[in-house]
Amino acid sequence: MADPQSGPSRPVIVLLAEDEEPLRTMVARVLWAEGYRTLEARDGAEALHLARLSLPHLDLVITDVVMPTMDGRELGRELAKYSPDLPVLYISAYVRGDVFHRDGPGAPSNFLQKPFSNDDLLAAVKALLAASPRRSTGTLAN
């Protein structure tokens, strides 16, 4: 089990934007079981609002790419304006090349194709947090 409480005195906070409630609930439960704190949003607009309220305490955003109101790509671009060092994990049932052309995430670890296993989700989360300047201590030791 990861130890999100080690290092900094505050928990790791993850914002989850997913329009499919069963998947959002499942991902939130997996993250909670590992000790992460989650904020949940049904679309990108709601996620952006929660992110603005939560900065600078937000450590990671997990967002579906295709959502109503504001999609994950637009959410990522808006978040970069406020917090360019905030890591974003994009998830989608579509393959990476179908949803991202030139403006997608740079590293393969920033994209996870649905369906994904709990282990794949946690590995991607840990990798992004370990590389993030927002969590300077490498909070995720296994």
One CATH from 3.40.1440.10, 3.40.50.11270, 2.60.120.920, 3.40.50.2300 for 13-131: 3.40.50.2300
Q: Are 90 and 111 in contact (CB under 8 A)?
A: yes
What is the rounded average pLDDT of the residues 2-8?
48
| Domain residue spans of the chain | 13-131
Per-residue pLDDT tens digits for 93-142: 876 665 555 455 454 458 899 999 999 999 999 999 998 887 653 333 22
46 pLDDT above the threshold of 80: yes
Q: How many CA atoms lie within 13 Å of 95's alpha carbon, on the beta-carbon side?
A: 2
pLDDT greater at residue 142 or residue 24: 24
Which one-letter DSSP state was computed for residue 90? E
Q: What confidence score (pLDDT) does residue 64 get?
A: 94
Residue 72: Cβ-neighbour burial (10 angstroms; 0-12, 13-18, 19+): buried
48-96 tens-digit pLDDT? 999 999 888 899 999 999 999 899 989 998 999 988 899 999 998 876 6
Residue 2 reports pLDDT greater than 50? no
